[in-house]
């Protein structure tokens, strides 16, 4: 799939499914945003990811999309995602063209995470901030469109069942809220 086709499918999809995670008190959640950055690679569309350093207090070593918490200076969550992508991988806002905003996902760690989908200039080369990012890499969208690569299991937390989505990719494990976002995103393209 090429970027133009992915963009068209996203914009034509009627309604993406809601977050699979139950929310008991949305008022106390910290607003945050991630950038689901798409770029046209040699084998079709790719998605940019980061890996968090092991020394971080929250989610050490996890695979994530560039992003973070909403700050008072941000005008909206789109600006949050673009600001964080610049801080983490040096993606300048003018190198990203926002396509759409996906439904918010809720984490058990107290965050409301809103994915912002954008097309990224093909010649962008990430420069990881070593204080926030241990590694930066991309995965072909076709990997997520293949249902054999998408796994889920039911877990129970506080007497509530919810799905956990995970996708092993070349020795890395994409899971949690990032996995749920990718599951929802890939299903909206089919």
Confidence of residue 118 (pLDDT cuts 50, 70, 90): very high
* Percent of the chain clearing pLDDT 70 (strictly above): 92
CATH code, residues 3-13+29-189: 3.90.79.10
Which of 184, 181, 138 is CA-nearest to residue 38? Answer: 138
Residue 44 dihedral angles phi and psi, to the nearest 5°: 110, -160
- Domain residue limits, the chain: 3-13+29-189
Q: Among 10-24, 52-66, 100-114, which is the least confidently predicted range?
A: 10-24
Q: Is 34 in contact with 81 (CB distance < 8 Å)? A: yes
Spatial distance between the Cα atoms of 100 and 81, rounded to a whole number of angstroms: 12
Q: Residue 7: pLDDT above 70?
A: yes
User: What confidence tens digit (pLDDT) does each residue in 124-163 have?
Assistant: 999 999 999 999 999 999 999 999 999 999 988 777 788 8
Q: What is the 3-state secondary structure (H, E, C) of the chain?
A: CCHHHHHHHHHHCCCCCCCCCCCCCHHHCEEEEEEEEEEEECCEEEEEEEECCCCCCCCCCCEECCEEECCCCCCCHHHHHHHHHHHHHCCCHHHEEEEEECCCEECCCCEEEEEEEEEECCCCCCCCCCCCCCEEEEEEHHHHHCHHHCEEEEEEECCEEEEEEEEEECCEEEEHHHHHHHHHHHHHHC
User: What confidence tens digit (pLDDT) does each residue in 24-68 have?
Assistant: 556 678 999 999 999 998 889 999 999 998 887 777 789 999 999
Residue 12 confidence (pLDDT): 63
* Mean residue pLDDT across the chain: 88
Q: Residue 107: pLDDT above 70?
A: yes
Spatial distance between the Cα atoms of 14 and 169, rounded to a whole number of angstroms: 29
Spatial distance between the Cα atoms of 127 and 133, rounded to a whole number of angstroms: 9
Between residues 129 and 12, the one the model is more confident about:
129
| Residue 171 structure tokens | 């020795």
Residue 167 dihedral angles phi and psi, to the nearest 5°: -140, 105
């Amino acid at each position: 799939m090429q970027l133009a086709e992915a963009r068209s499918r996203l914009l034509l999809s009627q309604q993406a499914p809601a977050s699979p995670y139950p929310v008991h008190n949305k008022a106390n959640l910290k607003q945050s945003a991630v950038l689901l950055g798409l770029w046209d690679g040699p084998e079709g569309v790719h998605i940019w990811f980061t890996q968090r350093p092991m020394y971080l207090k929250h989610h050490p070593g996890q695979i994530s999309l560039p992003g973070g918490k909403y700050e008072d200076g941000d005008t909206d969550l789109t600006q949050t995602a673009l600001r964080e992508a610049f801080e983490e991988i040096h993606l300048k806002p003018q190198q990203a063209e926002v396509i759409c905003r996906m439904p918010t996902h809720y984490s058990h760690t107290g965050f409301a995470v809103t994915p912002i989908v954008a097309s990224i200039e093909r010649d962008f080369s990430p420069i990881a901030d070593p204080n926030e990012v241990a590694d930066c890499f991309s995965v072909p969208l076709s990997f997520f469109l293949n249902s054999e690569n998408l796994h889920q299991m039911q877990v129970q937390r506080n007497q509530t069942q919810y799905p956990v989505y995970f996708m092993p990719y070349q020795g890395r494990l994409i899971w949690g809220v990032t996995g749920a976002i990718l599951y929802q995103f890939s299903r909206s393209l089919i």
